[in-house]
Amino acid sequence: MKTKLTILTLLTAAGVVLAAPQTFDFKDPKGVNNAGFKLDAPLEAINGNASGVSGTVTFDPADPGATKGKIVVATSSLMLPNPMQRQHMLSDKWLDAAKNPEISFEAKEFKNVQTTGDTTTADVTGTFTVKGVSKDITVPVKLTYLKDKLGDRLPNQKGDLLVIRANFMIKRSDFNINPGQFNDKVAEDIEIQLSIAGASPK
């Protein structure tokens, strides 16, 4: 009886360990992780991209709806093809990158979670922070869990990958980025496209 109980306890403990959520680090040594942004104003279209992505996400393949985490983009990593436009964008008149070095999204709650195989789609509500202004928004995301694929991406490493894709829109007036001004050249709606992969080494 004692032996059976011990085995049962060990199996339960192993189950708990196996089902434990994993932490994925989104600092990408390959430099592929990026957040694109697009503003389409009547007189001018602005297309840019940020590569300074970091942050961690806790993901449990057995319970994707319990995912939590925070993704951070370094404001100074925002790039535009025109250097003067970029200088203006990062200046104190627009994003004020010196005082607001980070743009972040912290996930709080997952809703409408649907999992098919390794892919989960959900509507994530979280706090989006730009230029020091935080606002709760809901973003549709797609998570893809790639078990044991870290070694394929980074040789000599073993572990899992979590790919996150999200497309959403914010309004610059919601984040005090020159609200109501220059709307003919700098669109009010900012389309954001997040394409990132995180690693959980074993």
Give the interface with other proteins as residue ranges (CB under 8 A).
30-34, 36, 44-45, 49, 51, 79, 81-85, 144, 146, 149, 152-153, 161, 163, 165, 195-197
Provide, rounded to whole angstroms, the least separation between the CB of residue 37 and other proteins. 11
Provide, rounded to whole angstroms, the least separation between the CB of residue 154 and other proteins. 9
CA dihedral 145, 146, 148, 152 (to 10 degrees): -150
**165 - beta bridge partners?**
142, 195
CB atoms within 10 A of CB 22: 18
Provide, rounded to whole angstroms, the least separation between the CB of residue 36 and other proteins. 7
**What is the helix (H) or strand (E) element at residue 6, kind and residue range?**
helix 2-18
Q: Which is nearer to other proteins, 81 or 140 (CB)?
A: 81
End-to-end CA separation in angstroms for the chain: 35
Do residues 14 and 192 touch, judged by C-beta distance below 8 A?
Answer: no
Q: Which is nearer to other proteins, 175 or 190 (CB)?
A: 190
Q: Which is nearer to other proteins, 2 or 30 (CB)?
A: 30
Provide, rounded to whole angstroms, the least separation between the CB of residue 184 and other proteins. 15
Strand residue runs (E) in the chain: 22-25, 34-40, 45-50, 53-59, 68-74, 78-79, 102-116, 119-130, 133-146, 159-171, 189-201
Q: Which is nearer to other proteins, 100 or 193 (CB)?
A: 193
Q: Which is nearer to other proteins, 123 or 152 (CB)?
A: 152
Provide, rounded to whole angstroms, the least separation between the CB of residue 196 and other proteins. 7
